[in-house]
Amino acid sequence: MAAPARPFSSLLFLCLLLLIPPLLFSFAEHLREDPELQQCRRRCQQEEGSRGERQLRECERTCEEAAWRRQSEREEREREREPGGGGAWEKLQQCRKHCREEHGEEEGPQLRRCQQWCQERYREEREEQEREGEGEGRRREQEERNPYYFGEESFAHTARTEHGRFKVLQKFSRRSELLRGIERYRLAVLEAEPSAFALPSHWDAEEILYVVKGRGVVTMLHGCEEGAEQGRESHEISEGDVLWVPAGTNTYLVNTDKNQRLHVAMVLKTISTIPGEYREFFGVGGRDPESFFRVFSNEILEAAFNTRREKLERVFGQHQQGAIVKASEEQIREMRRGASEEGGGGGIWPFGGGERNKPYKLLKKKPSHSNQHGRMYEVDQDEYKQLCELDLDVSLANVTAGSMIAPSYNSKATKLVLVTSGDGYIEMACPHLSRRQQGADHYVKVRSKVSPGTVFVIPPGHPVVIVAASGGENLQVLCFGLHARGNRKYFLAGKNSVLRNLQREAGELSLGVPWKEAKEVLDSQTEAVFLKGPEQGRKGEGGERTTTLPEYSILDAASF
């Protein structure tokens, strides 16, 4: 029986041919830098008098082929020397194999052009790897000193078009062994331009999303056993909404605003056998994003859809605009039709009661803490049951410029802090980064400047302070608490400080000073949770403002 035709191979190869000319131009530019090629060409031109124009072209083509072979050999040697180049090398071999399958094994102009295109793609990928590797030693040194801070360069784009982008933070265990306890979690950000539409897909991961700003509609598909309407649920989402997307649920999203970007942060809890690994699966799509239907045999697809191959190729082979595209006003209007605007205090679907999975309106609830220095909104697993699926809690803190969140620590949860607006810095006491001195462990101060898009990880038990820079906008931080079931937050300064509950005798024995003196210090701060920050200064004698130095601790001078 004849082997089945490879689906879409002709269409794919035509697309490759359209890309070859500009890449060949780039490859030619690279060859111009080869001194041996230049010398060979000069010899051809010097002998032009004894040869015709045709012989000159043949001579120059021989020079270029030799230069191409030298470049291939050099890159192969580099691949053997340098670890990490295997991925690009394997792609190169697959590309060359495709060229031979399409043009035959015999050397010819078409095969040579196709292989040159493969070589150029390989060179571009290797150059990108080298750019990413620049300063790697310096970055590693910084990461060893502070493995808890992630700048925007720590995100990788998995989808990017002119209408939006989706980026994922690197695996936590890749940064440091200290973060291996949260390696099943990933942090991601979606930015959708006005009227953008994110194509339907499903993930092998549980997801909790938070709408940082903007508004849109999220639609989840559950099957058609009871008809299309019953098998589909759509929700209006806006700033402050928390929503659970179950693993494996086909989901799509549209930005319904004509002017404002939709910004969504999300935590994924992976269910893969490899901790921290997840994949996004597109059934719809075509070439970009690739539909997973394209890898199935033609006879399988024809039988499954009861449709001829030609129609299947048209349906699953046309889209090539990427995973995020622009929707028309009419399309957006139809997708909004029937979307639920309800949110609230924790829809319990599918835990019983027949209610759907509704967004939780975090910013519509009363702040858990509020004063002139800031506001905090929190939701836990008791209020929004769906958080149990990922063992999460979610909070948003808005810190007034120049103010700070009092020193505190969490009993069980690891906090992922994503800065959504404003600037400031975070200080944390860490025992894991210290060097042993005279047989005893010492704490290390971990300090990081933070700005929009940066991430800071706060492990359980680690005392931490978050400070908003003065003179600018408020610092707003979104916190996802991982392993949050049963977590408690303990404040170490302020009116609700746990240290205020010390017994007199325990305080005197612990601090080595009379309790009256210690009590004056512990009771001096009259605010709770949100406090005046160090940059606002203190009032000295006579009401004069004294300057504070955030980098220095008075406890350092006392050898604490």
- Poorest-confidence range of 129-133, 257-261, 380-384, 478-482? 129-133
Decide: helix, strand or coil at residue 50.
helix
Q: Which two tokens stand for residue 144?
A: 């060893």
Cβ-Cβ contacts under 8 Å for 499 (sequence gap 6 or more): 492, 493, 522
pLDDT above 70 (res 424): yes
Mean pLDDT within 151-162: 92
| pLDDT of residue 234 exceeding 90 | yes
Residue 478, pLDDT > 50, answer yes
User: How many Cβ atoms sit within 10 Å of the Cβ of residue 286?
Assistant: 21
Strands 374-379 and 444-450, by their bridges, are unpaired
Residue 34 confidence (pLDDT):
67
Distances (CA, A) of 555 to 232, 404, 493: 59, 20, 15
For residue 323, give the nearest of 196, 222, 232, 208 by alpha carbon. 196
Cβ-based burial of 533 (10 A; exposed 0-12, middle 13-18, buried ≥19): buried
- The pLDDT, as a whole number, for residue 16 is 47
Per the structure block, which two tokens stand in for 542?
Answer: 């006579």
pLDDT bucket at 144, cuts 50 / 70 / 90: low
Task: Let me know if 138 is exposed, middle or buried by CB neighbors in 10 A (0-12, 13-18, 19+).
Answer: exposed
Of 231 and 423, which is predicted with more confidence? 423
How many residues does this entry show for the chain? 560
> What mean pLDDT is predicted for residues 47-76?
71
Kindly list the structural domains of the chain, giving each domain's residue range(s) and its CATH number in brackets, ordered by start. 1-47+59-67+91-126 (no CATH), 144-282+323-361 (2.60.120.10), 365-491 (2.60.120.10)
Query: Residue 427 forms beta bridges with which residues?
Result: 447, 465
Residue 538's pLDDT is 54
**Cα-to-chain-centroid distance, residue 550:** 31
pLDDT at 400 over 50: yes
Q: Which of 136, 150, 141, 152 is nearest to 191 (CA)?
A: 152
Give the C-alpha distances (Å, rounded to integers) separating 55 from 48, 51, 52, 327. Answer: 8, 6, 5, 57
Place 420 in a pLDDT band, splitting at 50, 70 and 90. very high
Q: Is the distance from CB of 264 to CB of 217 less than 8 angstroms?
A: no
Q: Copy the structure tokens of residue 480.
A: 């996802």
DSSP string, 342-357: ---S---TTSSTT---
- Dist. CA 475–CA 403, nearest whole Å: 9
Distance, CA of 77 to CA of 510 (rounded, Å): 64
Q: What is the pLDDT of residue 466?
A: 98
Q: What is the mean pLDDT of residues 282-296?
A: 88
3-state secondary structure of 99: helix
40, amino acid identity: C
Region for residue 402 given its phi and psi (left: phi exceeds 0; alpha: psi -120 to 50; beta: otherwise): left
Mind listing the pLDDT tens digit for each residue in 204-225? 999 999 999 999 999 999 876 5
How far apart CA 89 and CA 76 sit, in angstroms, is 8
Taking a C-beta distance cutoff of 8 angstroms, is the pair 208, 242 a contact?
yes
Q: Do residues 99 and 118 lie in contact, with contact meaning Cβ atoms separated by under 8 Å?
A: yes
In the three-class reduction of DSSP (H, G, I as helix; E, B as strand; rest coil), residue 371 is classed as: strand
SS3 content of the chain, % helix, strand, coil (to 5): 35, 30, 35
- Of 251, 434, 258, the closest CA to residue 332 belongs to 258
DSSP assignment, residue 249? -
Compute the mean pLDDT over every residue in the chain, rounded to the nearest whole number.
Answer: 81
State residue 352's pLDDT score. Answer: 38
E strand or H helix at 142, and its extent?
helix 136-145
Can you tell me the mean pLDDT for 23-30? Answer: 45
Sign of the torsion formed by the C-alpha atoms of 361, 364, 369 and 371:
positive
Asked if the model's pLDDT at residue 63 lies above 50, the reply is yes
The answer, as to whether pTM is greater than 0.75, is no
